[in-house]
Every structure is written in structure tokens, then in C-alpha cells.
Chain A
Amino acid sequence: MSKFRTLALSLAVAGTLAGCAGPNPRDPFEGYNRAVFNFNDKVDEYALKPTATVYKNVTPGFFQTGVSNFFGNLADVWTAANNLLQGKVGDGMSDLMRVAMNSTFGLLGVLDIASEAGLQKHKEDFGQTLGAWGVPSGPYLMLPLLGPSTVRDTAALPVDITADPWQYKDPVNVRNTGTVLRVVDQRAALLDASTLLEDAALDRYEFIRDGWMQRRNSQVYDGEDGPKDKQAKPEVEDEAPMQPQADEAPKQPQAIMPEPAETKPSL
């Protein structure tokens, strides 16, 4: 019976997902994603953002810095592991050094003295590691409460969660309080950015999707132009007819606005 229910449920989900296949090949689940996006937005509007605003205005700056450093230090452990998994030994060792310095001289990570000493903080997760190993990102996927992701990164998520040291913190009430504090602190750090985003975007859903997908790809390749996923770049076909066009006579008077060349600069 329960098996049947699972089957029915997964069929229903698959049906919903397939039913809203949008025009954007990177975002075939747009209908579902938009629904989750709106849900997340409401949670943010009524719970997270107000809490984060109060947190930012009420608690002293050194406390906020301490909180973000403390959890940042815990995250550095997994970042180091992922850098090593990706074969970036230099970065991985540097991350381990950061953890060692910050956990001791930095009073359990509350002070980020490693950054001041010139060891730059990195941020790596298992999704990026999979990407570096060549796993394509797959379509865009909006996760409830967690926000933008891709199919690949969602598959990697359980690994990231298992590897988070705070998951194993005892007692449970300390762990839960810490988790809430961590989320609120992270949201507080984004308050200015989210205001900017609202100003810049015509359609916030699309703007966040298109910006986030690029950013994620850039994270996987550490800011370099990686081999672009062909299926993840629908614009390619748009730009292709540009080249022959250049030899033909322009279709319309272009005197006022000469069309710039569409070639991307090489690095």
C-alpha cells in the first residue's frame, strides 16, 4: 500500500514537473521553480528578513563578525576536503592551515586571523567537486527554504549536510540554536545585496536564475571560463547567425546605431 502511494506521489511530481516544461532549456521546471520561489519569498518576507534586520540592527558588530567567523571556520573544514578532492592541493592545504590557525589562535574560529595573515578564504562544496569532475549541472532547481540549486547540486546536498560538523554538535538545543543563528547571520549579511537585487531586476525570478547559474558555473571553475555546458547555453544558437550576417548587407539602416561585433573577448 505504502509502495503504491510512493509510486503515485512520484508520478504526480513527475507529471507536475513535465507539465510545466518552459521555453528555457536550462529551466524546464520553471512552473514548479516559480512556485517554490514564491513560497521562499514569503518565508523570507515574513520571518527571515525581519529577524535578520533586527539581528543586524540590535547585536553589536563584533558579535556578528564572531558568529560568521565561527561558522565560516567550521565550513572551512569541508572546503579543504573538497579542494583536496578536486586536486587543488595548494588551496586545500591553505584551507587546513586556516582551520588550524583560526581554531587555536582565533579562539575556536571566532577571530579570522588567517585572513588577516593573507590566507584567503575559499568556499567549496560537493556540488562544485562533482562539477570539477565533469558532472554537468543539469537543470535549475529551486529548493524549498534552501533556494537556488541545480539537479547536480541537489544530489550533492546530502553529502554536504553529512559533512557539516555542526550537525553533530551536542546537546541538541545548542545545535538548534546555533543553526538558527547561522541562518539569520547569513541572511543579515545579504540584506544590502537583496535590496540591490530588487532594484536591478525586471523579473526577480529570472534575474536570480540567470545570475545564479552563471555564478555557480564560475564557482565550479574558480572564476575561470570553464568549458561551457552546451545544453546550458541556449544563447549560442542566437549568436551563431551573427557571423554570416556581417558579410551581408545590413537589413535596415544602421547609420545611427552601428551594431557592435558579437565576438567575446578572449582571455
Chain B
Amino acid sequence: MKLIKQLIAVATVAFATSAFAAPAPANEAPDALVKRISSEVLETAKADKDIQAGNQKKVMDLVETKILPYVDFQRMTSLAAGRYWREATPDQQKQLAAEFRTLLIFTYSGALSQVKDQTVDFKPMRSSPGDTEVEVRSQVNQQRGEPIQLNYRVAKTDAGWKIYDINVLGAWLVEAYKGTFASEISKGGIDGLIKTLSEKNKKLASKPLKTAGK
């Protein structure tokens, strides 16, 4: 019984995913948006030999054009900084968001260059039409091992739906950074955190995307 249910669910998702490969309509639903982005990105990554080889510029281009327009880094950073966000000056907030954004781009690009034969299934969304904040749930299936849970928190903004948090394997990104942010700030203030982030980014910029892990 469960098997049949799962089969139907997978078939529905497969159908839905293929249907959403079409260009974006103006007021796209949040789950449709995430599905479209992830299938576009995965397809590009799988088809592009340079990306698989770890060509940093190409991966960054892909992230820049396909993903960044739909991510609210401002909000992501403010949530990760928690109560310290209000203590920061507008200028500090701007710098912090910019550095955090760069770090996440590097990380995400590293993940993308590892895409090989994965497929993504989306789970039915539990929300009502009036919601302005929803969670889109998906899982990445790989050839080996359990599927990887990948969920997105998406909020409605004036510029359409924007992703502001990602859950990988059960852990929310913002929550995972919150502890580190707090301890860096308690050590060296907000400027200390900005400095740590920018040093980290410099290190990442000078190192190839693919390392010994291959």
C-alpha cells in the first residue's frame, strides 16, 4: 500500500517537475519557483563538462544568474546575526550581508560542482493560498545512500517569492551559523565577525573548487 502511494507520489512529482521546466510566469507559486530553479540548475550542471570539472567561473556564473535573484541574503544575514543585527550600524549590516553572501556562494558552488547523477523529488506543500511564508520540501536522490533532505523557507516580498533559509539533512543553514556568529561577535564585535568572514572568503577565493575530496 505504502509502495503504491510512494510510486504515485514519485510519478506525480516527476510529471510536475517536467511541466515546470517552462519559462517563469509573473506570479509564480513558491514551490513552482523552487522547482524551476533547482531543475534549471541541475540540468545545466549535469550538461556542462566545465562545471563538473570544477571551473570556478562557470559555476559562479550559474549561481549568479539562476539562483541569486531569488535569494534574500539581507534577511538570511539578519536572522543568522539574531539580536546583534539591531546593534549593527547600517554600514556594518551591509558589509556583513555582503560577506555572508560571498561565503554562501562559495559553499554552494562547491556543492554544485559535485552534482553528477542526482535527481530531485518535491514533496507536496502544506500551505494555504494566503500564506506569505512557506516551506518547500524536497529530497535529492543519489545513487548511493539515503536521499538528502533539502528544504527551503520562502517568503513573499515586493519583488516576488524569495528564499531566505535552506535546510540540508535536517539542519537549517541560518540556525547552523547562528552559534558561530554569536561567538565571533562576542569575541571581536560585529567588525570582528565581518573580518573573519572576509578572511575566510579570501582563502576560499584562492583555492580551487575541487580539492582532495575528489
Binding site for B on A (CB under 8 A): 23-24, 53, 64-65, 68, 72, 90, 94, 117-123, 189, 191-192, 194-196, 199-203, 206-207, 209-212, 214-219, 223, 235, 238-239, 241, 245, 251-257, 259-260, 262-267
How many angstroms between the C-alpha atoms of A128 and B10 in the bound complex?
27
B39 CB-CB contact with A under 8 Å = no
The reply to whether A119 and B3 form a contact with Cβ atoms under 8 Å apart is yes
Query: Which residues of B sit under 8 angstroms from A117, Cβ to Cβ?
Result: 3
Interface residues of B in 180-197 (CB under 8 A from A): 180, 183-184, 186, 196-197
Interchain residue pairs with CB less than 8 A apart (28): A53-B212, A64-B144, A90-B2, A94-B3, A122-B146, A195-B110, A195-B212, A199-B106, A201-B180, A202-B184, A207-B176, A207-B180, A210-B179, A210-B180, A215-B171, A218-B149, A223-B170, A239-B82, A254-B90, A257-B78, A257-B90, A257-B97, A259-B86, A260-B74, A260-B75, A260-B155, A265-B153, A265-B155
Could you say which of B134, B143, B196, B212 contacts A202, with CB atoms under 8 Å apart? B196
B79 to chain A minimum Cβ distance, whole angstroms, is 7
Query: Which residues of A sit under 8 angstroms from B110, Cβ to Cβ?
Result: 195-196, 199
Query: Which residues of B sit under 8 angstroms from A68, Cβ to Cβ?
Result: 144-145
The reply to whether A256 and B94 form a contact with Cβ atoms under 8 Å apart is yes
The reply to whether A211 and B82 form a contact with Cβ atoms under 8 Å apart is no
With A207-B180, A209-B179, A253-B90 already in contact, 19 other A-B pairs whose C-beta atoms are closer than 8 Å: A72-B145, A118-B6, A121-B146, A189-B144, A191-B212, A200-B107, A202-B177, A202-B196, A203-B184, A206-B179, A207-B177, A216-B170, A235-B82, A238-B82, A251-B86, A256-B93, A256-B94, A257-B90, A265-B153
How many angstroms between the C-alpha atoms of A188 and B133 in the bound complex?
38
How many angstroms between the C-alpha atoms of A220 and B176 in the bound complex?
18
The reply to whether A265 and B176 form a contact with Cβ atoms under 8 Å apart is no
The reply to whether A195 and B213 form a contact with Cβ atoms under 8 Å apart is yes
Residue among B2, B94, B103, B179 with most chain A CB within 10 A: B179
B111 CB-CB contact with A under 8 Å = yes
Could you say which of A65, A120, A216, A259 contacts B78, with CB atoms under 8 Å apart? A259
The reply to whether A210 and B7 form a contact with Cβ atoms under 8 Å apart is no
Assess A267 versus B175: contact at CB under 8 Å? Given A94-B2, A196-B107, A202-B200. no
Query: Which residues of B sit under 8 angstroms from A252, Cβ to Cβ?
Result: 86, 89-90
